[in-house]
Structure 1
Amino acid sequence: MIKFFRNIRQRLLTENKFSKYLIYAIGEIVLVVFGILIALQINTWNDERKAQKVEDNFFYDVLLDLKKDNANLNYYKKFHTKRITYLDTLLTYVRNPNKTMGIKKFGMYTEPLFYTVAPTSYETTFESAKSMGEFNNFKEKQLVKDLSQYYADFVQLENSFSSITRFVENQFEPLMYKLPEGYMSEDTGMLVINEEDVQEFYNKVASIKDNRKITYDYEIILKTPNTENYLIGDMGRSYTALGKIITRQEVLTKLERALNKTIKR
């Protein structure tokens, strides 16, 4: 191709056709510039395509993380809903002293209160992209901003859950220390909600025979004024946690919809 254009230029110069040569030279320059512009445009298209692929892959991975988050939130929701039910049952017996609960039922409804949860957030994908500066090239700036706010708000869930944990450690456990734990049986953990199987623990405790012949006066705990205060305090904290869980799930659902609309796959 280059040899072809060179031959044309030489022929025009040899024939002293300068005006035609000048027109040809200008045309050749225009053609070269046009070729360069096309090449630049192709490079731009390729860069944009690569950038879009990176952005789509990021949002797709975040979508997978949000599904894991939602599974956790469903578990936390079930955990705190059940906790409120147990607290409600115990409070009913506290305020109705003529009702007899029985040591077995007392154990089954108080044991779950020893258990609390520490929330987990799947934000590795987001934090990795953030640290690598990938967001600078993203088109969906608002969506990235919304995701950033979602992950930043996770601390509210942590604070709410840790508030329950501290309350259990500082108020509930000292209250329950008044009652020896020899009343525990294989059924004591039936209402416990925990991510790991804890039944083996209760089987082990129940397998060790208690020969002390202790009378387990659980009613003294129900009649203690601190018990009512504790149950109401725990219930309030559990409702707060439940509200934050529901709010976070609502935000998560909106983010999932936005991501599904954005991902170009």
Structure 2
Amino acid sequence: MGKYFKYAIGEILLVVIGILIALQINNWNEHKKERTLEQEYYCLLLEELEEDQQQVLNLKILAEERINSANKAILEIQKEKPDATVFGENWLLSLRLATRTFKPNNATYSDIKSSGNINIIKDRAILKAISKYFKNVHGYSETIMSNAQLGINRVDNISNLLETGIYQANVASRYANDIFTQEIRDQLVKDLPKYINETIKPELYSAILTTGTNNRRRLELLLLIEDEVNTMLELLQQKCESSD
């Protein structure tokens, strides 16, 4: 009986050890899966940041084009007899795609939160940095949109657009065929003033100065967004490339 009990206890110990080893292996596998997923998340976030970086670059180019157009319009309205077509063309260009603002890619971050995998990210500093990034760039983007709306409102509040050069610019544009028929264009050339009227000149002067200021401020905000993007890129590049 003694031998039997020793044998039974030995069998039990072997089973327990086997279970513990199996649990340890399972835990190790789960840990490895989590670390692999964490690494994938870092790399996906990095890819989206690289897209954000390109988006900011494109928006900066557009902002600089708007600034140049606003400057040309300002120089024209400052003349004793501003040409309506020249002013109108540049004013329109200074407002082009005014409602386009920066929209960060947040697909991966949203997936991390909605899937319940937030605890997969072990580096809490990274999570804090990502959260701060989205908060900051959202604030900058909202400011861009608010400023853009000011410029749009200035156009909407002008009582007589015939005097602003906007229609003159449309008639002269290469897209004129898509806007007006030839008959309408011919009559508009006769009806629309060639020069900006002195009575509306101060209003247009003020409006284009507002547009120029807003465009300059937009570029400054985009540079702030670019700094945020570059900071996050540096952090995530280290994490994505890490093999720890």
TM-score normalized by the length of structure 2: 0.80
Q: Is the 8 A contact 1:182 1:210 kept in 2?
A: no
Matching residue within 177, 183, 200 for 2:161: 177
Question: How far apart are residue 148 of structure 1 and its match?
Answer: 1.2
In the TM superposition, residue 246 of structure 1 has moved relative to its aligned partner by: 1.0
Q: Write the letter of the residue equivalent to 1:237.
A: N
Q: Give the number of equivalent residue pairs.
A: 235
**1:136 paired to 2:136:** no
Aligned equivalents of 2:109 and 2:132: distance in 1? 11
Give 1:238's aligned amino acid. N
Q: After superposition, what is the alpha-carbon deviation per residue over 1:60-96, rounded to whole angstroms, capped at 9, x for unaligned?
A: 222222222222211221122221222222223333x
Structure 1 residue 84 corresponds to structure 2 residue 60: no
The CA deviation at 1:219 is 2.3
CA distance in 2, matches of 1:181, 1:118: 21
Q: 1:78 to 1:117 in 2, by over 3 A?
A: farther
Report the AA paired with residue 221 of structure 2.
K
Quote the residue 2:90 is aligned against: 109
* CA pair 66-187 structure 1, distance change in 2 beyond 3 A: farther
**Map 1:94-173 → 2, pairs under 5 A:** 94-95=77-78, 97-98=79-80, 102-115=83-96, 116-119=98-101, 120-173=103-156
Q: Which amino acid aligns with 2:218?
A: A
Q: 2: distance between equivalents of 1:221 and 1:124?
A: 53
CA contact (8 A) 1:80 1:238 kept: yes
Structure 2: distance between partners of 1:222 and 1:144:
57
Amino acid corresponding to residue 13 of structure 1 in structure 2: K
Deviations 1:133-174 (A, max 9, x none): 211232121112111111122332332222233212321343
Q: Distance in 1 between matches of 2:156 and 2:75?
A: 20
Equivalent pair of 1:118/1:158 in contact (CA under 8 Å): no
Q: Which has the higher contact order (CA 8 A, sep 6+)?
A: 2
Contact 1:184 1:206 in 2 (8 A): no
Q: 1:218 to 1:166 in 2, by over 3 A?
A: farther
Query: How far, CA to CA, are the matches of 1:178 and 1:207 in structure 2?
Result: 18
Deviation of the 1:49 alpha carbon:
0.9
Structure 1 unaligned runs (5+)? 1-9, 15-20, 189-198
Per-residue deviation, 1:227: 2.5
Q: Provide the alpha-carbon RMSD of the alignment.
A: 3.0
What is the alpha-carbon distance in structure 1 between the residues aligned to residue 121 and residue 130 of structure 2? 13
Of 230, 233, 256 in structure 1, the residue corresponding to residue 210 of structure 2 is 233
Q: Which has the larger radius of gyration?
A: 1
Is the CA contact (8 Å cut-off) linking 2:162 and 2:192 kept in structure 1? no
1:28 CA displacement: 6.1
TM-score, normalized by length of structure 1? Answer: 0.74
Alignment partner of 1:219: what SS? Answer: coil
